């Protein structure tokens, strides 16, 4: 199994990875679906390291609570 398909279906934070595609400079981009229902495209490494955990809905919720 390739590295691309190993992460498909896995959940990181609020994002579930739907597919992986090649991006610029040898990076991989992940097409994800957020728990809120939106689709989001982000760098796969950022998702795996926890730097990206939602489509932006989490930040909006946190700002609303302040």
Tell which residue, 66, 37, 40, has the closest CA to residue 53.
Answer: 40
Interacting residues of 37 by C-beta distance below 8 A, sequence separation 6+: none
Return d(Cα 54, Cα 47) in angstroms, integer: 9
Per-residue pLDDT reduced to its tens digit, 23-48: 888 899 999 999 999 999 999 999 99
- When mean pLDDT is compared across 4-8, 30-34, 59-63, the lowest value belongs to 4-8
Centroid of chain to Cα 62: 19
Distance CA 57, CA 25 (A): 28
């Amino acid at each position: 199994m390739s590295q691309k398909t190993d992460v498909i279906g896995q959940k990181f934070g609020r994002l579930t990875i739907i597919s992986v595609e090649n991006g610029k400079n040898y990076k991989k981009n992940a097409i994800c679906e957020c728990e809120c229902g939106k689709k989001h495209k982000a760098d796969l490494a950022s998702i795996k390291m926890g730097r990206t955990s939602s489509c932006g809905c989490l930040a909006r919720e946190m700002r609303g609570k302040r």
